[in-house]
């Protein structure tokens, strides 16, 4: 299967300004050297602690935020080389469902206008077919087409999230970045939407970058999974090997804090200790060192890089790589 | 001792919602968002509400806070907080209750934050208004609360604006704000959905701790049954504006009785499942009816595997099966 998205050493830093002159005093290193590839008909899950930079990766890939460094190739085309209008056209094929449904919906537009605006603008749908087109999408995401003339604030949280999903699907994108896209849905509708994503993939070969806090959902939908920590990918692997055989100490900690599925098991849950570190610090060595139960003094000397530790399994950790290599 | 405490609790409900009904008067008709809701929360206890998206969970919370806006109306019922009917209070009295006795964490993290004010300003505003603190004291308290909810560099965060924070950080700010006034009742609408599992574990732990420390009761709205398992004592399951089942958490997980609850349980993906590319999750067939065209009789009958002719005649009552309440004639 061919590569549809190729991200190399992506960095996105936000300036922190202070004082009357708004002088830049420091940077939030939200994304700090992320590389990943996504194939056609593939789903890559992206997980990690809150604030580690997942949404920023998504937005930087689409160049909704200009990346500070690095390259993004979509269908072999460098997005940085496109003009603003070319980029807008490209975005028909790469859509993102944003994390915050309400603030990404125009409060003065009806649901029908929200869903059909872009496809009409890009000439994918005739104005006269508008109603039929929107109704079909409403059914697809489990909303009643009779509500097409309503405004976003008249819907519940989960219903708004589905309006966002419908809007993204309206363009039949080849790449869809889903940022916590099923998190506000109850389990039955969540199941329905996740099944829909898989069906669309099977039928049209869509690719997904799937950002979520829900590990069971990630395991269900993904082919491969990447774990992020402080703006970097620390482990990336085939999903079964990542969840059944996590190697990075951070991944292990993350997986051990998955919520119980039954009240009788709730004591087994263990929260990761230590403060979430500040993304403004520049680390000489491994950024996870301060919270790592397996850290050795040498971990603070140079930054670790992703290294292969088995078929389709890469880890960025000195100690793990050493033990894996010793084990052969 | 424990027995005594239990009895004590049973005698003193903190919040009692009795027969509350809310409707939205729209051009297209009347949308009956919640239909005769009864809930009891005792002091220091956590009641979870779960249910399908759009079933009326947020509207129930808004009704308790008396934050239903036009064209919505609370039609019937009583909402008693320590015996006082909130529906009879003046707007001024209600504002006082909102900051002091009850606090709410809203579902959309952006809607609870003012985009043009720094985090510190917003946090201090509530503390100065409701707790009568001096500015310095309020700042200290705000910084303390941000540290309590696990924000890195709380001092610096006070100067930042909402759009500069990640989704999870915004949610933590809202939790810090709600807890800063030490309310007796905390209503939390999906408070941890935007949080990753590690922070979620910390926040739930923190909420449990503060709950004990201040003897705070909680109404926890979530669609995440894992969160319910972690934190709730009792659970109410809602469907299309009705409470369809209500019992203790352990009982609900071990012995769900309403066909809707059973369907929900079946739809949860678990970490133990190894899914292949072809696998699909179970989901309850059909669609939630819109509020403008509810089916006759039981509201779940159009999607229910057990439905019979009888179910179309009358919406069943919430019947008490030894403390386990169920709204289904086949349960
Ligand atoms: N516009 C901005 N200006 C300054 N800092 C920002 C901005 N947007 C994001 N950040 C910072 O970048 C970091 C990463 O944020 P991002 O939203 O990508 O995290 P995330 O992994 O999506 O978290 P969550 O799971 O909570 O949504 C955070 O420290 C955040 O405060
Ligand atoms: N302002 C409004 N005008 C019209 N209808 C409304 C309004 N607010 C809510 N509703 C309707 O009331 C019903 C209940 O909404 P509510 O927000 O309580 O759902 P919810 O259970 O919180 O769902 P979710 O889990 O998706 O957040 C929904 O069908 C919604 O469309
Ligand atoms: Mg995010
Ligand atoms: Mg809601």
Query: Which residues, in sequence order, are CB contacts of A76 under 8 Å at separation 6+?
Result: none
Calculate what percentage of chain B has a pLDDT beyond 70: 96
Cβ atoms of B60 and B34 closer than 8 Å:
yes
pLDDT of residue B223: 85
Q: What is the DSSP string of A84-106?
A: HHHHHHHTTTEEEE-S-TGGGS-
What's the start-to-end Cα distance of chain B, in Å?
36
Where is average pLDDT lowest: A25-29, A98-102, B138-142, B275-279?
A98-102
Which range of A138-147, A218-227, A293-302 scores highest in mean pLDDT? It is A218-227
The pLDDT tens digits for A104-137 are: 899 999 999 999 999 999 999 999 999 999 999 9
Q: Which tokens hold the place of A30? A: 């939200």
d(CA B259, CA B301): 10
Q: How many C-beta atoms lie closer than 10 Å to residue B146's C-beta?
A: 27
pLDDT of residue A298: 94
If you measure CA to CA, which chain A residue comes closest to B27? Answer: A150
Q: Is B142 left (phi over 0), alpha (psi -120 to 50) or beta?
A: alpha
Average pLDDT over residues A59-88: 96
Cβ atoms of A226 and A44 closer than 8 Å:
yes
Tokens 């909680």 locate to B218
Q: Closest-lying ligand to the alpha carbon of A52?
A: 1
Ligand 1 atom having least distance to the Cα of A59: 18
d(CA B74, CA A223): 48
The pLDDT tens digits for B31-63 are: 999 998 999 999 999 999 998 888 999 999 999
Spell out which residues of chain B touch residue A13, defining contact as CB-CB under 8 Å.
Answer: none
Q: What is the DSSP string of B235-273?
A: EEEEETTEEEEEEEHHHHHH---SHHHHHHHHH---TT-
- Which residue's CA is minimally distant from atom 18 of ligand 2? B56
pLDDT of residue B230: 87
d(CA B116, CA A73): 36
Q: Is residue A267 within 8 angstroms of chain B, CB to CB?
A: no
Whether A279 lines ligand 1, by a CB cut-off of 6 Å, is yes
Q: Closest-lying ligand to the alpha carbon of B52?
A: 2
Q: Which tokens hold the place of A66? A: 């200009």
Topology given in CATH for the domain delimited by A3-108+151-276: Rossmann fold (3.40.50)
The pLDDT tens digits for B293-316 are: 889 999 999 999 999 999 999 999
If you measure CA to CA, which chain A residue comes closest to B25? Answer: A154
The reply to whether omega before B4 is within 30° of 0 (cis) is no
Average pLDDT over residues A199-205: 92
d(CA A103, CA A161): 11
Q: How many C-beta atoms lie closer than 10 Å to residue A321's C-beta?
A: 19
| CA–CA distances in Å: residue A184 to residues A216, A319, B33 | 15, 38, 19
pLDDT of residue B1: 38
Ligand 2 atom having least distance to the Cα of A153: 1
Please choose, from the candidates B229, B289, B224, B226, the residue with its C-alpha nearest in 3D space to the C-alpha of residue B55. Answer: B289
Choose between B272 and B316: higher pLDDT. B316
Question: Can you say how many angstroms the Cα of residue A200 is from the centroid of all Cα atoms in its chain?
Answer: 18
Given a cut of 70, is residue B155 above it in pLDDT? yes
Q: Which residues, listed in sequence order, are joined to residue B15 by a DSSP beta bridge? A: B41, B81
Q: Is B296 left (phi over 0), alpha (psi -120 to 50) or beta?
A: beta
Q: pLDDT band at A86, cuts 50/70/90?
A: very high
Cβ atoms of A193 and A162 closer than 8 Å:
yes
**Greatest CA separation for chain B:** 67
Calculate what percentage of chain A has a pLDDT beyond 70: 96
CB pairs < 8 Å spanning A and B: 194
Check: complex ipTM more than 0.90: no
User: Which pTM was predicted?
Assistant: 0.86
Q: Is residue A61 within 8 angstroms of chain B, CB to CB?
A: no
Each residue of B290-312: b (16+ CB within 10 Å) or e? bbeebbebbbbbbbbeebeeebe
Domain boundaries, chain A: 3-108+151-276
Calculate what percentage of chain A has a pLDDT beyond 90: 70
Q: Cα of A179 to ligand 3 centre, how many Å? A: 7
Whether A277 lines ligand 1, by a CB cut-off of 6 Å, is no
Specify the 3-state DSSP secondary structure of A77: strand
What is the number of H-type helices and E-type strands within chain B? 11, 12
Please choose, from the candidates A134, A129, A167, A160, the residue with its C-alpha nearest in 3D space to the C-alpha of residue A148. Answer: A134
Whether A56 lines ligand 1, by a CB cut-off of 6 Å, is yes
Given a cut of 90, is residue B132 above it in pLDDT? no
Choose between B293 and A319: higher pLDDT. A319
d(CA B220, CA B232): 8
Average pLDDT over residues A263-277: 62
Please choose, from the candidates A231, A224, A217, A214, the residue with its C-alpha nearest in 3D space to the C-alpha of residue A313. Answer: A224
Given a cut of 60, is residue A269 above it in pLDDT? no
Q: How many C-beta atoms lie closer than 10 Å to residue B21's C-beta?
A: 17
Each residue of A26-56: b (16+ CB within 10 Å) or e? bbbbbbbbbbbebbbbbbbbbbbbbbbbbbb
d(CA A138, CA A124): 18
Choose between B238 and B170: higher pLDDT. B238
Given a cut of 50, is residue B2 above it in pLDDT? no
Q: pLDDT band at A49, cuts 50/70/90?
A: confident
Query: Which residues, in sequence order, are CB contacts of B140 under 8 Å at separation 6+?
Result: none
Report the mean per-residue pLDDT for chain B. Answer: 88
Ligand 2 atom having least distance to the Cα of B61: 18
Spell out which residues of chain A touch residue B292, defining contact as CB-CB under 8 Å.
Answer: 146
Average pLDDT over residues A195-199: 93
Q: pLDDT band at A45, cuts 50/70/90?
A: very high
Given a cut of 50, is residue B4 above it in pLDDT? no
């Amino acid at each position: 299967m061919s590569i549809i998205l190729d991200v190399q050493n992506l960095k996105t830093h936000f300036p922190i300004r202070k004082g009357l002159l708004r002088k830049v005093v420091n940077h939030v290193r939200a994304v700090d050297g992320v590389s990943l590839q996504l194939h056609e008909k593939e789903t890559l899950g992206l997980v990690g602690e809150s604030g580690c930079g997942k949404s920023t990766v998504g937005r930087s890939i689409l160049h909704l935020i200009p990346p500070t460094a690095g390259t993004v190739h979509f269908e072999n085309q460098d997005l940085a080389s496109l003009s603003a209008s070319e980029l807008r056209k490209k975005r028909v094929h790469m859509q993102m469902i944003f994390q915050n449904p309400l603030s990404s919906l125009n409060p003065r537009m009806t649901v029908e206008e929200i869903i059909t605006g872009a496809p009409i603008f890009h000439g994918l749908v005739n104005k006269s077919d508008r109603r039929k087109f929107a109704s079909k999408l409403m059914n697809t995401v489990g909303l009643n087409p009779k509500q097409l003339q309503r405004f976003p604030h008249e819907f519940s949280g989960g219903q708004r999230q589905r309006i966002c999903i419908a809007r993204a699907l309206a363009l039949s994108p080849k790449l869809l970045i889903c940022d916590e896209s099923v998190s506000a849905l109850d389990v039955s509708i969540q199941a329905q939407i996740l099944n829909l994503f898989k069906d669309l993939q099977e039928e049209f070969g869509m690719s997904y970058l799937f950002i979520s806090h829900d590990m069971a959902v990630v395991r269900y939908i993904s082919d491969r999974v990447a774990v992020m920590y402080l703006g970097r990918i620390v482990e990336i692997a085939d999903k079964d090997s990542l969840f059944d055989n996590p190697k990075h100490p951070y991944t292990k900690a993350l997986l051990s804090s998955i919520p119980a599925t039954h009240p009788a098991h709730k004591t087994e849950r263990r929260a990761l200790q230590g403060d979430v570190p500040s993304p403004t610090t520049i680390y000489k060595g491994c950024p996870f060192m301060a919270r790592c139960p397996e850290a050795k003094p040498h971990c603070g000397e140079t930054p670790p890089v992703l290294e292969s530790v088995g078929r389709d399994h890469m880890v960025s950790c000195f100690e793990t790589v050493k033990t894996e290599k010793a084990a052969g | 001792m424990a027995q005594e405490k239990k009895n004590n609790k049973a005698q003193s409900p903190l919040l009692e919602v009795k027969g509350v009904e809310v409707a939205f008067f729209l051009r297209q008709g009347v949308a009956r968002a919640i239909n005769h809701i009864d809930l009891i929360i005792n002091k220091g206890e956590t009641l979870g509400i779960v249910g399908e998206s759009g079933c009326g969970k947020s509207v129930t919370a808004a009704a308790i806070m008396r934050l239903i806006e036009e064209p919505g109306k609370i039609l019937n019922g009583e909402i008693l907080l320590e015996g006082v009917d909130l529906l009879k209070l003046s707007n001024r009295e209600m504002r006082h209750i909102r900051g002091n006795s009850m606090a709410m964490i809203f579902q959309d993290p952006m809607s609870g934050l003012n985009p043009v004010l720094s985090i510190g300003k917003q946090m201090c505003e509530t503390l100065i208004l409701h707790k009568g603190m001096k500015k310095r004291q309020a700042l200290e308290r705000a910084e303390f609360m941000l540290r309590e909810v696990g924000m890195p560099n709380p001092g610096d965060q006070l100067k930042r604006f909402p759009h500069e924070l990640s989704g999870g950080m915004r949610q933590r700010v809202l939790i810090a704000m709600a807890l800063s006034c030490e309310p007796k009742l905390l209503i939390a609408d999906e408070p941890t959905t935007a949080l990753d599992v590690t922070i979620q574990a910390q926040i739930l732990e923190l909420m449990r701790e503060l709950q004990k420390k201040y003897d705070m009761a909680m109404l926890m709205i979530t669609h995440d049954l894992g969160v319910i398992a972690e934190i709730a004592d009792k659970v109410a399951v809602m469907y299309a504006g009705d409470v369809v089942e209500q019992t203790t958490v352990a009982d609900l997980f071990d012995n769900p009785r309403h066909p809707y609850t059973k369907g929900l349980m079946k739809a949860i993906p678990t970490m133990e499942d190894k899914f292949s590319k072809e696998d699909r999750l179970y989901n309850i067939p059909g669609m939630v009816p819109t509020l403008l065209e509810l089916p006759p009789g039981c509201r779940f009958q159009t999607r229910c595997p057990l439905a019979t002719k009888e179910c179309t005649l009358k919406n069943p009552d919430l019947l008490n099966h030894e403390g386990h309440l169920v709204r289904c004639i086949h349960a």
